[in-house]
Chain A
């Protein structure tokens, strides 16, 4: 199944697009989405584990299932500070 994912901030800059299209299998989970993003866009692999993923405007955990037509967004953490 094909899914559209909205990207924000640094992710958008790294991928050079605010929307990407991902091909995922049947009944994919948020973890599947992360894995597919890393394969398709390895440049984001280092920050993807710390990104928030929103599924239909709710923050989603890795085990949650993505259904057809779901609204998906990935929001990276702000980088910086001493920590």
Chain B
């Protein structure tokens, strides 16, 4: 099932879906993907300068409970980051999924229409230092995106599977508008 056009419904519908998606990801991480040394919690991500705060996923190392990675599903209120600002965030690996039009622009995809462009970004700081930007649009399948954590390895984040599982919880009324 492809990515839906969430502009067809009110932002509160995506807001509800998004929280469910985060919960599905949390379950997949803690039950299927992470070892006993690593765990994930839903936490608040804040950008005080941009007056933005929202719930997202944080991954911790159990040895000292330090944050080792973040996964963020962008809400519609989230300020749009540009590629440069992402590259400057070199401290912690993260995945950012932005399913709202005009996500992070992929400079390697010149043929796409930036007005409809959404994005999935995976960034890992040095020494791995990789930034993957996958542009997607309505109708695309969510790409498999690895989260690269220098100290523990990579985790393939099951974006498509959890998106589908969360979508099942969307009220039928809205599912009909989206499908």
Contacts and interface: CB of A to CB of B under 8 A. Distances in A.
B-side binding surface: helix, strand, loop or mixed? mixed
Interface in A1-25: 6, 8-10
Given A9-B149, A83-B32, A78 B154 contact: yes
Contacts of B155: 77-78
- Number of chain B interface residues as a range: 20 to 34
Contacts of A54: 128, 130
B35 interface: yes
Contacts of A46: none
Contacts of A82: 31-32
Contacts, number: 58
A45 to B, nearest CB: 16
A9 B35 contact: no
Given A6-B127, A52-B146, A57-B129, A76 B153 contact: yes
Interface of A: 6, 8-10, 52, 54, 57, 59, 73, 75-83
Interface of B: 31-38, 127-130, 146, 148-156
12 contacts: A8-B153, A9-B149, A9-B153, A52-B146, A59-B146, A75-B146, A75-B154, A76-B153, A78-B153, A79-B35, A80-B33, A83-B32
